[in-house]
Structure 1
Amino acid sequence: MENFVFSSRAKAITGGTALFGLLLLIASYFVDGGEGHHMRFWTNLLHNSVFFIGISFIACFAYGAFTTAYAGWFVQFKRVWEAFGMFLLPGLFLMGIIVVGLWMHAHHMYHWNDQEAVATDALLTHKSSFLNPVWFTGATIIILGVYYWLISSVRKISIDEDTNGTTSYAHHRRIKKWAAPMIAVIGFTSPFLIWQWIMSLDAHWYSTMFAWYASASLFVAMIALTIMLLIYLKSRGYFPGVTAEHFHDLGKYLFAISIFWTYVWFSQFMLIWYANVGEETIYFKLRMDEYPVLFWGNLLLNFIMPFFILMRNDTKRKYGTLFFASAIVFFGHWFDYFNMIKPGARQTLIEMEHHAAGHDEAHTTTLDAGNSHGEDHATATMDDHAADHAGTDESHGADHAGDDHAMAATGDHADDDHAMATTGDHAGDDHAAGDHGGDEHGTMAMGGGAGHDSHGLEFKSGYTLPGLLEIGIFLGFLGGFLFFVLSMLAKAPLEPKKDPYYEESLHHHT
């Protein structure tokens, strides 16, 4: 079949799943798990939005790379990647909600958005020229807008080629003129999005390998979703030209980039851990100590399982096995992004609550000290009056004055002691901000509050591990993504038969 028909049954399933996920997302606004500030809602929105937007722009990058490299094998199903890329438009709306929440201080995921914290933290002050609402907003809107402009232009030419063009290279040359800059733009600007959206959740931490790591995760997830969608569409009678050879190539990418993801995972962990650099090690220490199931389960899902399933050559040609492996990997990299986002956001919340508690305690102590001073003054007045009335000698009054002075001094010292204690609570942050030597104090403070009662964090569904709400919201976003993609597929010829590389793709052999 040349044109995809988005059946009412498929619409009901994907649309219904999306609606169910939306209701669960709204429910997560009120079911915080005791963490406060509606953090569960905001992190769920950020997590799923970033994950599916990332799949969209990575599909654009792959499309541009293969087109520029004169690859023909993917032409059969290039409409799928075009449809993936078009999700950038609703993705821009989703991130717009995050941006509005940032400016209104409706969420507290990003420590660098707290101006009071930035003013007292040298490292956050140093990063403030990049980590600020203006940069976050500009990068999100402009970069995603440019991505959408590029892929929509490519798709428009591609569809025109099928409807009004010929098998000559005229349209294809135009596509290449858009595809080549699309690679460069996405390659150079996507790290800015990853740094701001994800890495800055752990505001004191940084890694020069993080953008590679996050991008590799998205690439594997995109390939896995492509495989599952193509297998489904073939089962419905579409894409007859997509054969086991195409799935074998997709399976090789799934296997190879999974290995590359593991290489970056290990390199980032090993180099930072071995060097024992304080401001970098804390990212792993927090997750290994407090979220061990997330940390090690990530490796199990995204390396060990796909490695042993896909290592055999014939498993990449078996639809059932390949679909199973793709489903594991797809969920595994969603799980990977959960690990990137949730612990850092929760730690920021812990830091905020600790800071607020410190201010409340300081205010209470000041009031107590003032009351104590007032009581001393009243006591001294009454005692002096009684002494005068009874004709008590002057020395007795002097003794009371000395006692009063001592009590007042004690009250003053109580303020001093509390001030010292309060200052001590934030000393770790100040030390961490100015120290890059990697000692233990710097290591703990660099976690954005990891030194404040982070060890032994209690289990929290939706933070320590994905809860039923998180799984439901994930399925809802997946349903919404597929609803949009299938709608796009229904608007154009499914197979680009006038693409000059179509025949090469049709007779593809690995």
Structure 2
Amino acid sequence: MSTVEKFIPTKKYNTIAYALIAVGLITAIALYISTHGAAASEEEAHRNHARFWASLLQNSVYFLLVVNAAMFFMCATTLAWGSWQLAFSRVTEAVSSAVPVIGVIAAVILLSIVFGDNHVIYHWTDTEHVKHDEILNFKKGFLNKTFYTVITLFTVIFWSFLGWKMRQRSRSLDTNPPRTLEEKKKFIWDNTVVAALYIVVFALTIMSSLPWLWLMSIDAHWFSTMYSWYTFASTFVAGMALLTLYVVFLKNNGLLATVTKEHLHDLGKFMFAFSIFWTYLWFSQFMLIWYSNQPEETIYFINRIGNEERPGHYAGIFWTMLIINFVAPILILMSRDSKRNYTIVTFVAVIILFGHWLDFYQMVFPAVSPDKVPAIVYDMGIALFFVGLIMLVVGRTLSKYPLEVKNHPFIKESVIHHT
């Protein structure tokens, strides 16, 4: 086996990853100290403490859903019997291998918030408050600690297990390739079954209950039937951006020989298309709520962009996020040539990841800190911890297995892929 077939993380790569993790941990400690000092009142103390946990929640959930987008992409293309993505499928597998690691971190953070004594983030965890709140009392069959815990643990466990199963099946091709037609058919069928199981789990979590519990219940009086799809679109396009960055990075290091500009073009089309899809969902949710003009619905956007009676503290972040996530991708990636240019695609991928991080920021903090925008530099610093962790996990996973899946029954179609 040629060493070129494997990615060997350089000292510089590992140093950057560890440095980012260290910066993130230091930032988290600094934020904890700054939010746990003396406060004028008990209510202010609770809000300060919640600001710390909200930052951990926003970052852990965002990056968990981003790396899990790789798992969704892998299973969706498997279910469709796609082949073009096989040229970089080991990259997809490596990114998805971060799901169990970040999943455990996110689960610990989320359950610590739910079972803690601070109810600023999740008002519905305050039993006494729920008794006197008609809306929350009505929703307590769904918004309760038991259901939240079960869904959270179910999600992390099943995402991790099915991801491990898909990766193991792919890696088995290296040592035990299917030789006969029947063996090839069986491999494809078994892959399809596992991928279908994951899609069912994905539908029960990301496509429905999970965003409601983890994120929408921060604004527990408010609801949107589009929220889960909106969250999915935001993290899926960010996940495609992360895959693109790693494909370009490995190509620049002389690896992934079978990956061409045709594959890069398709990755660019995914970023372009799902940026538009995310905007469609954003506009549909915003327009319908604005058009109906019902107080229980409009409060969500008033907290973010304000109105004539209330200042919009988060308006700058809200509109900047929209420009980054819609205007920039559609203008830059509209032409065919731009999707085949490594520099342009890399630039767009970076701003998409940052833009949707901002999207999650404005999904969380207006409810936790409605009267002022917290110092966002702390949250960016904590985000670096997860960036470094992803780099470390993905780099180590890529170094363990060949980058090319030579024995897959569909690999020929990927090698000769042409858009």
Same fold (TM over 0.5): yes
* Alignment partner of 2:112 out of 100, 104, 124: 100
Encode CA deviations 1:184-237: one digit per residue, 9 max, x unaligned: 220232221111000000010000001011100001100111111111111111
Give the aligned length.
Answer: 396
State the secondary structure of the residue aligned to 2:5.
Answer: coil
Distance 2:210 2:272 in 1: 26
Aligned to 2:309: none
Would you say 1:28 and 2:28 are equivalent positions?
A: no
Q: Distance in 1 between matches of 2:59 and 2:172?
A: 33
Task: Identify the residue that residue 454 of structure 1 maps to in structure 2.
Answer: none
Inter-partner Cα distance in structure 2 for 1:212 and 1:140: 18
Counterpart in the other structure of 1:77: 88
Deviation at 1:24, TM superposition (A): 0.7
Partner of 1:166: 178
* C-alpha distance in structure 1 between counterparts of 2:150 and 2:117, whole Å: 17
Q: Match for 1:93: what amino acid? A: V
In 2, the alpha carbon distance for the partners of 1:304 and 1:75 equals 31
Deviations 1:11-40 (A, max 9, x none): 121122112111111211122397533223
Q: CA offset at residue 107 of structure 1? A: 6.2
Query: Which structure would you say has the larger Rg?
Result: 1
TM-score, normalised by the number of residues in structure 2: 0.91
The TM-score, its normalising length taken from structure 1, stands at: 0.75
Amino acid at match of 1:133: K
Tell me if 1:507 matches 2:412: no
Q: Quick one: which amino acid aligns to residue 199 of structure 1?
A: M
Matched, 1:263 2:176: no
* Structure 1 partner of 2:192: 176
SS at structure 2 position matched to 1:186: helix
The CA deviation string for residues 227-273 of structure 1, in whole angstroms up to 9 with x for no partner, is 11111111111111111110100001100110011010000000111
Secondary structure of residue in 1 paired with 2:45: coil
**Structure 1's 36 and 312: CA in aligned 2 closer, same or farther, altered over 3 A?**
farther
The superposition leaves residues 312-344 of structure 1 with CA deviations (integer Å, 9 ceiling, x where unpaired) of 111000000111111111100001000101112
Task: Tell me, yes or no, if the aligned pair for 2:35 and 2:51 is still in contact at 8 Å.
Answer: yes
Equivalent in the alignment of 1:56: 67
Give the distance between the partners of 2:118 and 2:25, measured in 1 at CA. Answer: 19
Q: Identify which of 133, 142, 153 aligns with 1:130.
A: 142
- The residue aligned with 2:328 is 305
Partner of residue 474, structure 1: 383
Q: What secondary structure is seen at the aligned counterpart in 2 of 1:461?
A: coil
Kindly report structure 1 stretches of 4+ aligned residues shifted beyond 4 Å.
none
Question: 1:308-387 to 2 correspondence within 5 Å?
Answer: 308-347=331-370
- Preserved contact between residue 51 and residue 368 of structure 2 (Cα < 8 Å): no
Contact 2:59 2:379 in 1 (8 A): no
CA contact 1:26–1:41 (8 Å) conserved in 2: no
Amino acid at match of 1:228: L
What's the offset of the Cα at 1:500?
1.2
Quote how far apart the aligned CAs of 1:100 are: 2.8
CA contact (8 A) 1:55 1:219 kept: yes
Give the whole-Å Cα distance in 2 for the aligned partners of 1:278 and 1:163. Answer: 61
Q: Give yes or no for contact 1:57–1:186 (8 Å, CA) kept in 2.
A: no
8 A contact 1:21–1:476 mirrored in 2: yes
CA root-mean-square deviation: 1.6
Distance 1:219 1:30, change over 3 A: same
Distance in 1 (alpha carbons) for counterparts of 2:22 and 2:191: 36
Residue in 1 aligned with 2:98?
A: 87
Partner of 1:40: 51
- 5 Å matches for 1:286-297? 286-289=303-306, 290=312, 291-297=314-320
| AA aligned opposite 2:200 | A
The whole-number CA distance in structure 1 between the counterparts of 2:72 and 2:190 is: 17
Shift of 1:106: 5.1
Instruction: Check whether the contact 1:225–1:326 (CA below 8 A) recurs between aligned residues.
Output: yes
Matched, 1:232 2:249: yes
Gaps of 5+ in 2: 307-311
Residues 144-191 of structure 1: CA distance to partner in whole angstroms, max 9, x if unpaired?
211111111111111011222236344333211201121122023222
Percent identity between the aligned chains? 40
Distance in 1 (alpha carbons) for counterparts of 2:341 and 2:45: 47
Three-state SS of the structure 1 residue aligned to 2:404 is coil
**How big is the shift at 1:57?**
2.4
Measure the CA separation in 2 of the matches of 1:282 and 1:111.
16
Show CA shifts across 1:57-82 (max 9, x none).
22212111111111111011112222
Contact 1:110 1:203 in 2 (8 A): yes
Cα distance change, pair 493–85 in 1 and its aligned pair in 2 (3 A): same
Q: Is this contact kept in 2: 1:92–1:141, CA < 8 A?
A: no
Structure 1 CA distance for aligned equivalents of residues 128 and 369 of structure 2: 19
Distance across 2 between alignment mates of 1:265 and 1:330: 17
Q: Which residue of 2 aligns with 1:119?
A: 131
Structure 2 residue aligned with 1:488: 397
Counterpart code for 1:110 = Y
- Residue 86 of structure 1 deviates from its aligned partner by 2.1
Shift in alpha-carbon separation, 1:104–1:461, aligned structure 2, 3 A? closer
Task: Name 2:374's counterpart in structure 1.
Answer: 461
Alignment correspondent of 2:228: 211
Please say if residues 161 and 498 of structure 1, whose CA atoms lie closer than 8 Å, have aligned partners that are also in contact. yes
**Secondary structure class of the residue paired with 2:84:** coil
Amino acid at match of 2:383: F
Check 1:36–1:495 CA distance in 2 against 1; reply closer, same or farther (3 A cut): farther
**Higher mean displacement: 213-222 or 107-116:** 107-116
CA distance in 2, matches of 1:170, 1:52: 34
